[in-house]
Structure 1
Amino acid sequence: MERSQRWLPLGLILALGLLLGSLMFSIWEKIPTSVERVDWSKQAQWIAPQIPNYRFYTRNTFNLPDSATAGWLRISADNQFILYVNGRQVARENSVLSSSLGLGATRPLPFQNVNESISYTLRATPSFTLASSNDWKLTAYVDLTRYLRPGKNVIALEIQKGKTNPRVVVEGAVYPTDDAIPISLSTGETTWRVSNLSETRQSLQWFDRDFSDENWPEAKVLGSVREATYSRLSKNLFDRTLQGNLIAGNQSSQGQVWLRGGWQIPTDGISRAYIRFAGQGAYSLLLNGNLINNYRTENGNQLHLLEVTKFIRSGKIH
C-alpha cells in the first residue's frame, strides 16, 4: 500500500503531462491566422512516386540560352523536403514536433524568416519527424536566380514522410530574359522524374546536374491543390525581376557614400511592405531613421528580402 501511494504522485504528473501535450498539439494544429492563404494555379499538381514508399527523389531539367533574369518557386511537401539546384542544397524543411503553425507563430521555416534579412540561406537545426504532421500546410518560397546558369539546369527534391504516401507540389518559373516566355517549373505541368532510390552513377549523386535520370519514370500526378496552404510571402515578391541598377555617389574623406531616396505612402496606409535589394562592398540600410541592418562586404550578387511594414508610416518616407 505504501509503495502504491509513493508512485501515485508520479503517475499524476505523467498523466497531467500527457494531457498538456495533447492540448498543445491541438493548439498548434489550428489554422494559422497571421499568414495568407496561397493561391495555387490549376496547373500545379501534387505528385508522388509510382510505387508507394516512405521517401522519394524527383528531378526537373530545363535549359537556359543565357543567364536568367529571375527565377523562383514555391513548394509544399508532405512532409519534409530538401531542395537542390544544380547540385547545391538550397533549402530544407524538417518537422520539429510538426506544428502546422510554423510561419504563423514564432517557429518559421529557417530560410523563410523575412524579418531578419534572409537571403534564402539555411540555418539547419536537429529535428524530429512525426508522421501525423501537416507540414504541407506551409508553403515555402525560394528565389532561384543566383543558383541558375546558362545551359542545363536541374531542380531536385528529396521528399520523405513517416507514412508511405509522401507527396509534393511545386509551382514556379524562370525568366530567361525580360521579353522571353517564362519557363514553368510546376509539377503536373512539366516533366518531373522520380525514383525511390538515392542513386549514384559514375561518382555523380542523384541531385547532381549531370546525373542521368533518363531511366527514371515520370512522377505520378495526384491532382490539383484543393487543400489550404499558407505563407507569409507572396509570389508577387518573386515573379518579377529586380528593377533598377546599381548606383553610386561621391565618397567622403572617410571613404563613405550616402545614398538617399524618398517615397510617398498613401494616407490610408498599406497592409504589407517589402524591400528587395543588393549591394557592393560593406553597407547599412536605414528606413525613416531606423537602422535596419548592416552588411559585410558583398559583390552585388546577393539578393536580400526584408519585410519593413512596421517601419512604414503614411506620408513621405526615406
Structure 2
Amino acid sequence: MPDSTISDSPLPGLYIVATPIGNLGDISARAAATLAAADVIAAEDTRVTAKLLAHLGLRVPMTPYHDHSDERTRAALVARMADEIVILVSDAGTPLISDPGYKLVRDARGAGRHVTTLPGPCAAIAAITLSGLPSDRFLFAGFLPNKAKARADTLAEFAGLRATLVFYESGPRLSASLAAMAEGLGDREAAVAREISKLYEQCVTGTLSNLAARYADAPPKGEIVVVVGPPGAAIAEAADDATLDAALREAMAGKPVAQAAKAVAKRFGLDRHETYARALTLKEGG
C-alpha cells in the first residue's frame, strides 16, 4: 500500500534524497515526487542539481549547502523545516556518504524536526556489487588523505580489519593511492569501478600492485570507487590444499569443527565460512 504521508502530502521537515550517480533514469518515482513538493532544495552544487530538475521538468528554489556552509546557514534551514519541506541532496548518490549533511541532520533532529530519508543510488554499494569481492562485511573509508604520511597512517588503521574496504578516489591520484594500499595493506585483490550506471561503466579487477601499474601512465576520468578485498583473499587463492587439509585435521583432533575452522582460517588468512565448509567435508569424509 503506498505511503500517502510521503507521496501525497509530505510533512514539513527535512528529506534526505538520494539522486542518480550517473544515469538520470535511476531517480525513483518517490524521489521525483518529493522533489516536486519541496519548498527549497539544499544542494551541494545548485548547477549540478539544476540538470536533474530540468530532466524531471521541475523548477524548485535551491540554496547551496556544502562543506563550507556555516552554522547560520544550517540554522536558517532548520527554521524553515518548521513549516516547509526542505530537501537535502548531494551532487550524486546518497547524501552524507562522503558528502556534506550530517550536521544538518543532527541539528534538525535536535530541534525536533521531522526527518526522513529516501533511499536510492550509492556509488560505494554499487561498486561492491560489481567487484566480485566479499560483501558480507565491509568498511566505507571515503577518500584517503593527500599527504603520504597521513595516508600511510590511515591505511595502517585498516590493515588488520577482516573486511572488504571501499574508497572513493580521483583519476589523478588513483595510481599513487593503489600503490600506497598495496604497501600498507598487502597486495590484495581489488577492483576499480568507474562511471557506474553510465554508458562507459567499467570495473577492472586485479591485485593492487597490478592495478597501480595499469593506471600509472593512464589516469582514468570520471567518478572512481576502489574496492579492496579483506586480508587473506589473495592467500586463499594460492593456499596449498594439502597443507590446509593437514592443518584442519590437526586442529579438529582437539577442537570442535567450528573452533578448528576459525583457528585455521585466522592462521592462513582465509574466509572463515569457506574454511568451515572445507572442515565439514573433511570430517564427513573421515
Q: Which has the larger share of helix?
A: 2
Does TM, scored on the shorter chain, surpass 0.5?
A: no
Give the TM-score taking structure 1 as reference length: 0.26
